[in-house]
């Protein structure tokens, strides 16, 4: 990726051997662009999560709504940045791969790692309801893409379903209590606004850098844009979910991490994918997409809680192995 006139007045020897001053064009290699983009996504996503939840709290949005929607949206902000950048750059397949791949990373890798340190606990009924919706979303996506194309009409259907889910979630959450503000949010208003703004700036930069680097790596390795998005990009854009899960676990609020991860998956499947399709319709590689959807469904089933609302520690190995198999199948 090229940044023009970033460094001016660099000393350089001319043909006569005398030093001259001129404006240089600094070129960042696409691989470095991807690495910088992933770092920006992680940093920007974490800042935006804290800031957005803090701002929502100060705006007197009920705590239940913050936990059910704002936290999930904030952790999906890197995927949204990549989705918009990829669609505008003419490679919306990266956005689709990133959204579906992030879902597998969220459950298979992040919750798989979290379970290594012990059982995850939440409210059984709430978890099951979130899981049902999280399972329905990829099934609907799978039906829509059966013809191998993702049109604006397809995207509009997913977006309409997302709005319906969001309205129902907000209605159900109005009277609910949530520890999301205390666990993840910045409680000082000025600091929350600053973190929200700085995080958003990093996310916009990350979207451009990641798409530039991902396109190069895909061409170099012979991978499709979808596979690049579902593997390399998905790991980077899932860093806010990882941070959320770790912080929630340390502070004794597993339900916040579980709810945010599941909510993020719903956002990815219904909102992020639909945004990419509304900007730029595209054709699909059905086999790769089916692998992503199937892996997302399988990992969700593996975290189905028992009657006590617990996800046992023993499922960690299954999730991590499943994630490894998913990556191998995609690359092959």
**pLDDT tens per residue across span 145-166:** 888 889 999 999 999 999 998 8
Three-state secondary structure readout of 237-266: HCHHHHHHHHHHHHCCCHHHHHHHHHHHHH
- Give, in degrees to the nearest 5, the angle at Cα 206 between 203 and 212: 150
Count structural domains, the chain: 1
123 located within any domain:
yes
3-state helix, strand and coil shares in percent for the chain, rounded to the nearest 5: 75, 10, 20
Supply the CATH number for residue 136's domain: 1.20.1420.30
Q: What is the pLDDT of residues 19-62, one digit of tens each?
A: 443 333 344 577 788 788 878 877 887 787 777 777 777 776 76
Kindly state whether residue 308 falls inside one of the protein's structural domains.
yes
Task: Name every residue whose Cβ is closer than 8 Å to that of residue 33 and which is 6 or more positions away in sequence.
Answer: 1, 209, 210, 212, 213, 216
13 belongs to a structural domain:
no
pTM of the model: 0.78
Q: How sure is the predictor about 211, in pLDDT bands with cuts at 50, 70 and 90?
A: confident
Q: Answer yes or no: is 87 within a domain.
A: yes
Buried b (16+ CB within 10 A) or exposed e, 76-91: bbbbbbbbbbbbebeb
Burial of 19 (0-12, 13-18, 19+ CB in 10 A): exposed
How far is CA 21 from its chain centroid? 44
Domain region containing 274: 34-331
- Report yes or no on 28 lying in a domain: no
From 226, 231, 214, select the one nearest 285 (Cα to Cα): 226
Q: Is residue 320 in some structural domain?
A: yes
Residue 3 resides in a domain: no
Q: What is the largest CA-CA distance in the chain?
A: 81
With contact defined as beta carbons under 8 Å apart, do 50 and 195 qualify? yes
Q: Decide if 81 is inside a domain.
A: yes
Task: Give me the chain's average pLDDT, please.
Answer: 80
The two three-digit tokens of residue 206, written as one number: 């990350």
């Amino acid at each position: 990726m090229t940044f023009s006139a970033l460094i001016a007045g660099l000393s350089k020897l001319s043909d006569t051997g005398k030093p001259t001053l001129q404006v240089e064009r600094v070129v960042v290699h696409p691989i470095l662009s991807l690495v910088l983009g992933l770092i920006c996504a992680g940093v920007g996503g974490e800042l935006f999560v804290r800031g957005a939840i803090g701002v929502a709290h100060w705006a007197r949005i009920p705590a239940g709504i913050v936990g059910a929607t704002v936290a999930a949206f904030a952790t999906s902000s890197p995927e949204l940045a990549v989705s918009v950048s990829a669609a505008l750059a003419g490679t919306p397949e990266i956005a689709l791969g990133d959204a579906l791949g992030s879902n597998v990373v969220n459950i298979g890798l992040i919750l798989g790692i979290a379970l290594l340190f012990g059982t995850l606990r939440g409210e059984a009924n709430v978890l099951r309801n979130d899981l049902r919706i999280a399972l329905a979303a990829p099934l609907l996506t799978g039906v829509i893409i059966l013809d191998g194309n993702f049109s604006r009409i397809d995207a509009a259907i997913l977006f309409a379903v997302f709005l319906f889910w969001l309205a129902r979630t907000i209605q159900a959450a109005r009277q609910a209590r949530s520890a999301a503000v205390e666990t993840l949010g910045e409680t000082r208003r000025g600091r929350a606004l600053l973190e929200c703004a700085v995080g958003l700036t990093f996310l916009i930069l990350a979207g451009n850098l990641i798409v530039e680097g991902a396109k190069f790596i895909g061409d170099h390795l012979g991978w499709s844009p979808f596979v690049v998005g579902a593997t390399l990009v998905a790991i980077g854009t899932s860093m806010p979910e990882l941070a959320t899960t770790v912080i929630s676990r340390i502070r004794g609020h597993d339900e916040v991490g579980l709810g945010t991860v599941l909510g993020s998956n719903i956002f990815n499947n219904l909102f992020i994918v639909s945004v990419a399709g509304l900007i730029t319709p595209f054709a699909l590689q059905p086999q790769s997409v089916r692998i992503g959807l199937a892996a997302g469904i399988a990992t969700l089933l593996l975290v189905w809680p028992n009657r006590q609302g617990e996800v046992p520690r023993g499922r960690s190995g299954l999730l991590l192995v499943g994630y490894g198999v998913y990556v191998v199948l995609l690359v092959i």
